[in-house]
Amino acid sequence: MIRIGIDLGGTKTEIIALDEAGSELLRHRVASPRHDYQATLSMIVRLVEETEGQLGRRAAVGIGTPGAISPGTGLLRNSNSTWLNGRPLLHDLIECLQRDVRIENDANCFTLSEAVDGAGAGHRVVFGVILGTGVGGGIVVDGRVISGPNRIAGEWGHNPLPWADDSERPGPACYCGKSGCIETFLSGPGFTRDHAAATGTMLEGAEIIDAARQGELCSAASVERYEQRLARALAHVINVLDPDAIVLGGGMSNVPRWYETVPHLWQEWIFSDRVDTLLLHNRHGDSSGVRGAAWLGSGPRP
């Protein structure tokens, strides 16, 4: 079976076709129509038809996009492509494409991609984390996304930072309406804000990490605060889910030292004398979203 995955973003949309073994048959990227729901639908249909024309075969279709289909209404919600919110995207795509279509959010697609044939391959329970502009999570068990009755499984970025000390309470205000969410500490902008609060200097995450590597003490302290918070946030997940592997993605995942320091640090908060959970860097990088969307399509996986 050929699988088509579409990563529907606010500014660009990517399509990929995978064969049975997960090899890439083709990949194509276009600009997303903005503020136009009908044009978005037409673009997806055109991309699928063109791809199937080139392959000469009908394919299973999966879509990855920010947001989720509300289980109550069947309408998309929580997408930062706001013109898709409140629209019956899944229903309309099933009508237009005349087949079953699966939709999951970008963190779930990332986790599925890494669990099927990425860094988490061969592990039964995989927790995927995106540490980017926001912080998202996804759970895959035996190669299947666990989404849950509320479609929020894995969304731990808006839980409070666990074992917070007085300097971390109440914590920064979050767009969700609460304060001190994990996302406000572990997102790229959260890291920048934390460093600026300590030093008065606004730097991008990569700049802080570079400075720390060169021995600049304030930057090194910011990096140590970050990895300590990441360890606490992941210890919380391990105490609930006890995954075999945790795979990190997003811009803040590209720091080799996290994979040594964090599993050492998290032992203090995990309710077990021994911790075998692996902390892994993603294998597919920016391609994980679109590859995971393709794996949503039904049928056997490698």
Q: 129 or 223, CB closer to Zn ion?
A: 129
Nearer to Zn ion, 32 or 159 (CB): 159
State the minimum distance, in angstroms, from the CB of residue 136 to Zn ion: 12
- Cβ 159 to Zn ion shortest distance, Å: 8
User: Residue 125 or 135: which CB sits closer to Zn ion?
Assistant: 135
Element holding 40 (H helix, E strand): helix 37-55
Q: Which residue pairs from 156-163 have beta carbons closer than 8 angstroms and sit at least 24 positions apart in sequence?
A: 156/182, 156/233, 156/236, 156/237, 157/181, 157/182, 157/183, 157/186, 157/187, 158/182, 158/183, 159/236, 161/185, 161/229, 161/232, 161/233, 162/232, 162/233, 162/235, 162/236, 162/269, 163/232, 163/269
Shortest Å, Cβ 176 to Zn ion: 3
Q: Which residues bind Zn ion (CB under 5 A)?
A: 158, 174, 176, 178, 181
Least separation in angstroms between residue 181's CB and Zn ion is 3
Q: Shortest distance, CB of residue 208 to Zn ion, whole angstroms?
A: 22
Which residue, 39 or 176, has its beta carbon nearer to Zn ion?
176
Q: Which helix (H) or strand (E) holds 131?
A: strand 125-131
Task: Report how far apart, in Å, the C-alpha atoms of 94 and of each of 40, 70, 171, 256 are.
Answer: 14, 16, 43, 42
Select 27 or 178, whichever has its Cβ closest to Zn ion.
178
d(CA 51, CA 260): 42
With respect to Zn ion, which residue has the nearer C-beta, 76 or 174?
Answer: 174
Q: Could you write out the DSSP letters of every residue in 154-173?
A: T--TTSBPTT--GGGSS--B
Query: What is the nearest approach in angstroms of Zn ion to the Cβ of residue 183?
Result: 5
